[in-house]
Every structure is written in C-alpha cells, then in structure tokens.
Amino acid sequence: MEPDTSFWASLEAFQFMRHALLAGLLVGLTCSILSVYVVLKRLAFIGQGISHSAFGGVALALYLFEETASASLKIDATSLVFCTIVAILIGIVSRGRRISSDSAIGIFFAVSMASGVIFISLRRRYTGAVFSYLFGDILGVSSGDVILIAIVGAVVIGIVIAFYKELFFFCFDENLAGVSGLPVRFLHYLLLILLALTIVISIKIVGIILVSAFLVVPGSVARLLTGNFRKMILISITVGTLSVLSGLYLSNELEMPSGATIVLVQFVIFLAAMIARKLRA
C-alpha cells in the first residue's frame, strides 16, 4: 500500500509542512497589508529594487558567516541591515530633485547585485544556499525561521496599525499631508524601512526574484475591486492567505516549486479580478 502523500496527510505527518504553512501565512498576512500601501503610493519599483538589493546582503553574509555557528540568524541579520540601509539610501537620493527615483533605484539595484556577485566569487567554491535565497525554499523553513518571521511581521503590522491614519493620508495625497502638518519625510522613510523588513522575511518563502509579487499583487487585486481603504486591506489579506494555501496545496499535489506556484496563483486571482471589474463596468 502506497503512503498517502496528499497535502493534508503531509501536513499532519511532517513538521516541515506545518512550518511551511505557518511561515507562508505569516508572510502572506504581512505582505498583503503592506501591499495596499505599496500600490497606493506606487512603490512597486522601489520594492523590487530593495528586494533585489537583498542579494548583496545575502551574498555578504554567506561569505562571512556560512560556516559559523548560528549562520542562518547571522545571514538574516546581515540581510536585514543591508536592505534597510539600501532602502534609506534610495529614499535619500530619490527625494532629491537632481536624480529621479527610478534612476536611484536602478543605481542601487545594479551596485547591490554586482556586490553580491563579487562576494559569491570570493568564496571560490559552490554555494548551494544562494539558490534557496534567489528562488525561495518554503519547505526548508525551520522553527527558528518561523519565530523570526512572526517577530518581524508583528513589528511591521504593529507599526502600520500605530501609524494607520498618517500612512493612509500620506499614500493618498502626500502634498496635502505635508500641508496638514504630517511628517511626510519621516513617513516616506518609515514605509521604505517597513518594506525592507518585510522583504527580508519573505525571501525564505518565495526568494529574492519573486518577492516583489507578494508586495504588489494582493494590493493590486484589492485596488481593482474596491476604492474603500479598509475593504482594500481585507481583500488584500484574503488574496495573500488564499494564495499561500492554494499554492502550497497545488505545489504538493502537482510536485511543483512552492514559491513559484504561490505567485502563479496570485496572478490567476489578479486576472480574475480584472475580468470581474470589466464585467461589472
């Protein structure tokens, strides 16, 4: 008799599947909430720039810490600091008048990727861990990773809740928010730092290459379906959690890469939202 390899049986039998599901749901929740702000403020390209710059941080950490104790935590910490610094630098340069935001993003994107390639080449031996960071390895998530994702996710969501009204106003009309006395520069950098934090915990799930989809698709679906801000957040969260559940289920049943499957599910939901909007118009 062949063993039952269905999704629910695997979830019950294997701890790594439970870790994958929990981590995916936590990342889906965090990214979905932030995705609404990314879409409204049109920060998708900045998010992509920060996510790809994470490669430089990961490569540096692998070069320094891969063969040391607590390597995973050190790699995460280095990536977190690296992404945060890049996010702030992008914010500083793009807020200036001489260089456009897309030029600033392109510069830091290229420099970070180039730095990553150099750090990897300095190791002069095969580094399989790079691929898990590039493309994600949700099934390789450990209990420590789940705890880290939960802590960072809670911090991000807590800050969003604490600055709910200010971020809402800032995203809808930055000029009016500034005139009203809100610290728009602070809110701009705060949003970039939240993006950096979220990207770092998402890399383990879908990888550097695909993480930008997590920060754009749920919010885009919500934007297509409603103009009400609170409803947008609820719809975005629904899309994020549903795509994680469906993606993990389909990847297990069809034996496909989990992170890529989750992103494809999000894209299908996005297409369905577009069709629904056109039919309703």
Task: Report if residue 96 sits inside a domain.
Answer: yes
User: What integer pLDDT is reported at residue 17 of this predicted model?
Assistant: 86
- Domain CATH code at residue 32: 1.10.3470.10
d(CA 137, CA 206): 7
For the chain, the domain total comes to 1
DSSP symbols for 108-144:
HHHHHHHHHHHHHHHH-S--THHHHHHH--GGG--HH
Q: In the Cβ-directed half-sphere of 169, how many Cα atoms lie within 13 Å?
A: 15
pTM score, whole prediction: 0.89
Choose among 86, 62, 56, 84: nearest CA to 75.
62
**168-177, 216-225, 259-268: least confidently modelled range:** 168-177
Domain-embedded: residue 281:
no
Amino acid letter, residue 156 = V
With respect to residue 192, please indicate whether it lies within any of the assigned structural domains: yes
Instruction: Confirm if 258 and 244 have CB atoms less than 8 A apart.
Output: no
- Residue 2 included in any domain: no
Provide the pLDDT for residue 127: 65
Handedness of CA 102, 236, 230, 164 (dihedral sign): negative
Would you say residue 152 lies in a domain? yes
Provide Rg for the chain, Cα atoms: 19
Which residues constitute the domain of residue 69? Answer: 7-276
Residue 34 has pLDDT above 70, yes or no: yes
Q: What is the mean pLDDT of the chain?
A: 86
User: Length of the chain in residues, anyone?
Assistant: 281
Q: Is residue 149, in this structure, part of any structural domain at all?
A: yes
Average pLDDT over residues 28-32: 93
The pLDDT tens digits of the residues spanning 74-131 come to: 888 888 888 888 888 888 877 766 777 778 788 888 888 898 888 888 876 666 677 7
Could you tell me if residue 1 is inside a domain?
no
Residue 13 lies in a domain: yes
